[in-house]
Structure 1
Amino acid sequence: MSDEDQLFLTDSPPDAEPAGQAPWRVLVVDDDEEVHRATDYAFRRTLVLGRPLIMLHSYSGTDARALLAQDRDFALVLLDVVMEDAQAGLMLVEYIRRDCQMQTTRIILRTGQPGSAPELPIIEAYDINDYRTKSELTQTRLITAVTAALRSYDQIRMIAESRRGLELIVRSSADLMERHAMLSFAEGVLTQLAALLGLPRDGLVCVHRGDEKRGERADTFYVISAGGQLSDYLSCTLDKLTDTAVREAVSDALRQRQHQFTVSSTVLYLFADGHEAAVYMRSHQPLLPLDRQLVEVFATNLSAYFGNVHLIGELNRLAFLDGLTGLANRVQFIKDIETQLSAQLVGKEEPQALLLLDVKRFSELNNGLGHEVGNAYLKAIAQGLRAGFSAQTRVARLGGDVFGLVGSAAELAPERVRSLFEGGVLAGEHRLVVAFAAGYCALEGHRGSGLAALRRANIALARARLSAQAQRVSFDPIMEEQTAQRLALLRALRRDIQAQRLELWYQPQLDLQSGRMIGLEALMRWPDGTGGMVASPAVFVPLAEQAGLIVEMGLWALHRAAEDWVHLQGVADAPPRISVNVSMPQFRSGELQGQVAEVLARHALPAGTLELEITESIAMDDPCLVISTLTALREQGVRVAMDDFGTGYSSLSQLRTLPIDVLKIDRAFVSQIGERQGEMFVETVLALGKRIVAETVAEGVETPLQAEFLRQHGCHIAQGWLYAKAMPLQELKAWMAARI
């Protein structure tokens, strides 16, 4: 796109208006100040049809109503769709047309939110001239759209008093917008022209340039509507027309890119956003000047709507297809499920089933080999699924690395899917294996909606993802009950987080040589208010991660732990540091470093006081992100501990690069002290800690035997029930006082 085709913002004063010309009055309604500035700048040196523009500005639908109550002399309204609310723009359109009776004023809708496009009945009802997303409105396109709208306005005004048929133009243009399929649109054009001019329909032909998305050639024109004897040529290319006069007249208009008026015919040339079409009308005498004016006005409006038909068609196509693979998307897939359910209900189909496939380890592949290979991988899988099943089985990509199939239960058998990808797929230069976690739902007897069936298959897929053994899980009604319980638990968790009902409990960490308390680990608890717990951390912490609540919880925990540590400093034998667990979503948020800095500053924590605990799985999830963040945190005086060491899959080389101060031996290995294999692992971790100059903390120490073994082999610190359980702050203070 050229530089001059962009809308540049500037604070420069506008040029003086050319003198002696009646300007177009344009009302700009938008809640974005920069849109107003950009619109002013786009037309500051521009004459439209030889006349300057006067821009009046309003910043909300309410303000615009107040203005229009006093002043309605506007040729054009440039109107934002979403302002005070999602319906503000469309409600203002209704006010302009119905209450103000401004029928000739042209309206161009603009929006920064493509999903807020007006429904076709709204366009039909209120004669909206054009609809554009702000991102596509470059300066050239904006000027083009405004020029077309103002030309339409001017021509309508000129002949409004001399031709009653004007009402038919406005009415017919609006009618055409509901015919969003191109063939229906073309048929409507011919019908309206025939009625407008009193011509027989057997002398009208409509052609358009081919579209490769419909399997046509882009350098060829096709007959898409015709009447009488010429209807035999529907879908044929223009060069196949045997009527030489029609063929040559249409070809001349397309070649010269303008209307053609002759004694025996009229050809209207239509162009919008790269799409071309022509309408041929046979007549026995030349059009009268007034009829010619009328047709030109009709063509001006028609070109704008012609572009919208293509736009709406493309939006409809994108609304139901996945852009990467060309498969149906989630919206279309639900429709396909509904179709299969309906056919099954009336006994026209054998038992049907729904299958969801989640590509395993796709994230690792995508991160390791790059997005281009990842996309090629998904496209290869899509091609394999499409080719591997009959046309009766519908295949879709539901998003990310999840594919869906709905069809015959017999065809969706596990071995069928497995056999499709036994040799892997080729993605670029890579031959890659394909493995799925699968959720299966039989549709026989299902009486719910397509969305309900998809939800059930999703429940089964979620189970398959979590299972270490099962590759394919079939839906069972009890799963739905469990999911409902989980959602209820999630709602309660979200409510209690907002109400700050969660608590931090603390487990002391003791020096194995001196017995002195040298630290506390902060542990999240969810009390039920009656002395019990709503759920254990093993349940609600993963739930919070999946629901996107863990970042908020983590920030709260950092502040509360720091506040409680400061509070304890007035008690004898106060611990010198406090440890808080952090999660991967906190790293991915990009806010962890800043949040920790805020905690340190707000609570005036000395360097070395705050210790952050990570697990091996976090360290291996995104090593570069984790290492860079931890390195920056250590520079702020924060200590780093690796929790549950030995339960993950980190290598020594990866461990070497991590900025670690503490290795925590998992309780599973401490519990095996007394058994040779368990003791060997503990000794190995202790030796590793010495080599990397890290303290070692043993978790879950419950017996004097375990404590003595750890002490003799050089373990620095222990925590566990042998010394104290995790406890709320007040109990911790009492425990500390009892030790004095």
Structure 2
Amino acid sequence: MSDSNDDLLTFVDEDLPPPGSSRECWRVLLVDDEPDVHAATRLALKGLQIEGREVAFEHAYSAAEARRMLGADDGFAVAIIDVVMESDDAGLQLVRHIREQLRNRALRIILRTGQPGYAPEIDTIRLYDINDYKTKAELTRVRLFTSVTIAIRSYAQIQQLEAGRHGLELILAATTELGKPAGMNKFAAGVVTQLCALLGVGEEGLVCAAMGEADRPPFVLAAAGSFTTWIGVALSEIPEPRVREGLERTLRSQRHSFDDGACLFFSNSRQQALAAFVDVRRPLSDIERGLLEVFCSNISVAFENVQLYLIINDLAYADALVELPNRNAFIASIAAREAEQDTVALVDLDGFSDINSILDDSFGDAVLQVVARRLRESFPASTRVARLGGDLFGLHGPAADITPVNIGAVFATPFVCQSGEPLRLSATSGLVRIDDAAQPAVEILRNAGAALKQAKSFQRGKALYFEPVIAAAARDRMHMLSRLRESFSADRLFLHYQPLVDLRDGRIVGAESLLRWRTEDGTFIPPDRFIPLAEQSGLMVAIGEWVMRTALKWRAGLKGTVDERFRVAINVSHVQFSEPDFVAGVLRMLAETGVAGYQMEIELTESVAAENTSRIVDKLGELRAQGISVAMDDFGTGYSSLSILQRLRLDRLKIDRSFISDGNDTHEPFGITRTIIKLAAQLRLHTIAEGIESEEQRQALLDAGCEEGQGYLFARPLAEEDFGRLLADAVDGRFRHR
């Protein structure tokens, strides 16, 4: 069939570029089982150019072959498909496969058939996503030209829309990815990657340069491909003039440039800027330029966020005073450790609180700064040095570097601070070896803290490695403290009372109140185990107030059954006595219970001597002014000096049970007892001995001049009811020996 308009087509004799050529062209797939149709179609459209690009044909001689080709390559613009091939509807099934299985919506499809009855035109166009459907007789050269041209233009528009959509998706993804917290180097490397993806080029030939750092001129911050060797190089030293000049021009003008490749500019509000160079050899399309504008606008916001993150990160992970990582950074370092970073040490300055209190905070800050500087200089870069708070520093690194010897060497020579005077310091350290790769950082730090605490208790100024038994003991203490808190809240603490007896006539002159703890399962916990724990935790203040109030109520309940001078002795811990309102609290409880001051005695240990002596004297003076007597418990086991004893103006010394012997005057402990009794007499203090278990001991103490005593010879500590029976059995208030 001929058409007069066919003569208007002009064909050229030059060969078309072969499939796969680097020259850009529109690729058209001819799908027909008749070879003559392939030849005629190619001849009809030979030399055709559309939108400045030539048309290149590839051939499939069956629907099955077309499926394989389209499945392996989605770069075809148009497919001209015969309907009837292996089967009556092979072409239609191929269209379904393209749209539904391959999900290729961009490929434009022209259906043609020599047997129109198998696929009516109206139904086919309605049911299938195609551009055109003609019989082979209708598809003349002109109409074939028209159909292919319209299809290619439609494909080009779809590609542009798809490129824009894909580009915007990439920009959105890039904005999300680059907006995540990261360092500047990672951010710059991300810009490299995202720009390459946006422009459809490999990660090659792109450089990102930074400027705005006060102490450093512009330099290469990140690069891709063969340009990675430039990372860290000053911008002025980049060996390729085209790249160097493009970046310098962009930074200078603060705007994008597309003259030779693409140079993009990013800035933030902190006078910092980045310039990215993309070595694109082809002209950029309008869509690409528009996408780059959007990309740069979004990434500038992300650039601002990165700077904010870095500032926040400095606040969260850096110690501004000593310019070292802080506790948060130290824990993160341990959590992200390498295998060779197997040792953690905590270094605590000895006596630093005295430096702050005696001098001032500014001098203390200067001390911390010089110590931090020397620690940093004394250990290699592989060791993380941090300040964890106060005067506590942390070290994390290889075991070969973090050793007691190396830590001691830091403090072997004096430090020089503000005044220029040399300052000698010592430090106590706790070290822990990391054996378990999965051990949490917080647990490792806790173990190092346990070792440090142990060292401060027994080896101050030295270093001690963590042992599992330390952790076990710490866990036991924490468990016991938790149980003690629970028991205190559940009223499972109670008092026993042990009589105080006049050694001369056996009169019961008072009773010492003794704290007892029985757990929920009925187990008794010795006081020497839980009282130190309560003192360390701060719980002793609340417990001590309860003990005092309970003992005074008990004494008030004895009115009429004991001598008016009968006193209740109450142990007061060093922690409790140090409370500013201690005296006021004692007087308030006396008033609440109706107990007279002379009916109460407070027992203090020699540890109160560690307090400010003037403050102690004032408090004791206020108590004694109300008639309250004061005894020093466990005398001889601490470190009281004679001058302190004279100034405290006590009423009584309690001789510790460790100095009570079997009554043999030649026995050394009893010799110390005789000395204490003589000393008390010189100081005009009364004496009372603890732990009397035999009549021989009572008589020896009486002969030595001791006035009062308590112990199993008279009675064990008793519950209220049992103590009441003891009083009832007494004859005229005198203890009856059994």
Fold-level similarity (TM above 0.5): yes
Structure 1 residues 367 and 671, CA, compared in 2 at 3 Å: closer, same or farther?
A: farther
Correspondence for 1:224: 221
Q: Structure 1 residues 294, 331: closer, same or farther in 2, change over 3 A?
A: closer
SS of residue matched to 1:538: helix
Could you say which residue in structure 1 is the equivalent of 2:543? 553
Report the alpha carbon displacement of residue 184 of structure 1 after superposing the two structures with TM.
Answer: 2.0
* 2:607 matched residue in structure 1: 617
SS at match of 1:310: helix
Rounded to whole Å, the distance in 1 between the matches of 2:192 and 2:693 is 89
Q: Distance in 2 between matches of 1:360 and 1:665?
A: 34
Q: Which deviates more, 418-427 or 643-652? A: 418-427
Alignment-derived partner of residue 36 in structure 2:
none
Measure how far apart 1:557 and its partner are: 1.6
SS of the aligned residue for 1:521 comes to strand
Q: Of 329, 332, 352, which aligns to 2:330? A: 332
Give identity over the alignment, percent. 30
1:431 equivalent in structure 2: 423
Specify the code of the residue in structure 2 equivalent to 1:207: A
2:268 aligns to what SS in structure 1?
strand
Match of 1:724 among 715, 723, 733: 715
**1:520 paired to 2:523:** no
Displacement after TM superposition at 1:541 (Å): 1.0
* Contact residue 345 and residue 432 of structure 2 kept, 8 A: yes
SS of 2:711's partner is coil
Of residues 674, 678, 687, the one that matches 2:682 is 687
Instruction: Classify 1:297/1:668 alpha carbon distance in 2 versus 1 (closer, same or farther; 3 Å).
Output: same
Identify which of 640, 643, 646 aligns with 2:636: 646
Structure 1 equivalent of residue 86 of structure 2: none
The answer to whether residue 242 in structure 2 is matched with residue 250 in structure 1 is: no
What's the CA shift string for 1:455-494, capped at 9, x where partnerless? Answer: 5555555544444799665555555555554444344333
What is the CA–CA distance in structure 2 between the aligned matches of 1:324 and 1:294, rounded to whole Å? 43
- Aligned partner of residue 725 in structure 2, secondary structure: helix
- Whole-angstrom distance in 2 between the partners of 1:469 and 1:184: 45
The one of 477, 481, 485 aligned to 1:494: 485
Q: Aligned in 2, Cα 1:571/1:173: closer, same or farther, shift over 3 Å?
A: farther
The yes-or-no answer on 1:599 pairing with 2:602 is no
Amino acid at match of 2:494: E
Secondary structure (helix, strand or coil) at the match of 1:643 reads strand
Contact conserved, 1:353 with 1:407, CA < 8 A, in 2? yes
* Aligned twin of 2:313: 313
Of residues 518, 524, 530, the one that matches 1:540 is: 530
Letter of the 1:685 counterpart: A
Change in CA separation of 1:267 and 1:360 when aligned onto 2, cut-off 3 Å: closer
1:580–1:613 Cα contact (<8 Å) kept: yes
Structure 1 pair 202–477 and aligned structure 2 pair: CA distance change class (3 A): closer
Equivalent residues in 2 for 1:138-217, closer than 5 Å: 172-189=174-191, 205=208, 207-210=210-213, 217=214
Using the TM superposition, give the Cα deviation of residue 355 of structure 1 relative to its aligned residue in structure 2, in angstroms.
Answer: 5.5
SS of equivalent to 1:250: helix
Q: Which residue of 2 aligns with 1:581?
A: 571
In the TM superposition, residue 496 of structure 1 has moved relative to its aligned partner by 1.8
Q: CA deviation at 1:561?
A: 1.9
Counterpart amino acid of 2:212? R
Amino acid at match of 2:251: V
Matched, 1:270 2:258: no
Distance in 2 separating the partners of 1:566 and 1:238: 90
1:571 paired residue among 561, 573, 594: 561
1:505 deviates by 1.4
Match for 1:499: what amino acid? A
Deviations 1:63-92 (A, max 9, x none): xxxxxxxxxxxxxxxxxxxxxxxxxxxxxx
Partner of 2:656: 666
Question: How far, CA to CA, are the matches of 2:711 and 2:570 in structure 1?
Answer: 17
For each residue in 1:542-561, what CA deviation from the matched residue of structure 2 results, as whole angstroms up to 9, or x when unmatched?
12233443233223222222
How far off is 1:499 after superposition?
1.4
Deviations 1:605-652 (A, max 9, x none): 444444443322233056576566666666777654432233322444
1:277 positional shift: 3.6
Distance in structure 2 (CA, Å) of the matches to 1:624 and 1:209: 61
- 1:276 Cα offset (Å): 3.6
Shift of 1:580: 2.5
Aligned residue number for residue 84 of structure 1:
none
Q: Is the 8 A contact 1:182 1:309 kept in 2?
A: no
SS where residue 526 of structure 1 aligns?
strand
- C-alpha separation between the residues in 1 aligned to 2:557 and 2:185? 76
Contact 2:330 / 2:384 at 8 angstroms: preserved in 1? Answer: no
1:17-74 CA distance string (max 9 Å, x none): xxxxxxxxxxxxxxxxxxxxxxxxxxxxxxxxxxxxxxxxxxxxxxxxxxxxxxxxxx
- The residue type equivalent to 1:567 in the other structure is G
Matched residue, 2:10? none
Offset at residue 270 of structure 1 (A)? 1.0
Change (3 A) 1:313 1:457: closer
**Separation in 1, partners of 2:688, 2:300:** 80
CA distance 1:295–1:497, shift in 2 (3 Å) = same
Correspondence for 2:729: 738
What is the aligned residue count? 549
CA contact (8 A) 1:355 1:439 kept: yes
C-alpha contact (below 8 Å) 2:552/2:593 kept by paired residues: yes
Q: CA–CA distance in 2 between the matches of 1:396 and 1:220?
A: 30
Classify the secondary structure of the residue corresponding to 1:573: coil
Kept in 2, the 8 Å contact 1:511–1:716? The answer is: yes
Flag the 1:187–1:386 CA change in 2: closer, same or farther, 3 A: closer
- Contact 2:345–2:429 (Cα < 8 Å) also in 1: no
Tell me the distance in 2 between the aligned counterparts of 1:537 and 1:422. 42
Structure 1 residues 290 and 484, CA gap change in structure 2 (3 angstroms): closer
Structure 2: 5+ residue runs without aligned partners?
1-163, 733-738
Measured in 2, the distance between the counterparts of 1:701 and 1:435 equals 45
1:177–1:309 Cα contact (<8 Å) kept = no
Encode CA deviations 1:667-687: one digit per residue, 9 max, x unaligned.
334559834444223312332
AA matched with 1:309: Y
* CA positional deviation for 1:537: 0.9
CA spacing shift, 1:556–1:261, aligned 2, 3 Å: same
Deviation per CA, 1:400-437, whole angstroms, max 9, x where unpaired?
A: 55555566656666555555544455566353252536
Residue 539 (structure 1) shift: 1.1
In structure 1, the gaps of 5 or more residues are: 1-161, 211-216, 254-259, 345-351
**1:181 partner letter:** G
For 1:354 and 1:203, the matched residues in 2 are separated by 42
Which residue pairs with 2:126 in the alignment? none
Secondary structure of the residue aligned to 2:525 is coil
- Aligned-pair distance for 1:731? 1.5
AA in 1 matched with 2:428: F
Question: Could you tell me the TM-score, scaled by structure 1's length?
Answer: 0.58
Residue among 486, 490, 504 paired with 2:495: 504
Is the CA contact (8 Å cut-off) linking 2:659 and 2:672 kept in structure 1? no
Contact 1:209 1:222 in 2 (8 A): no
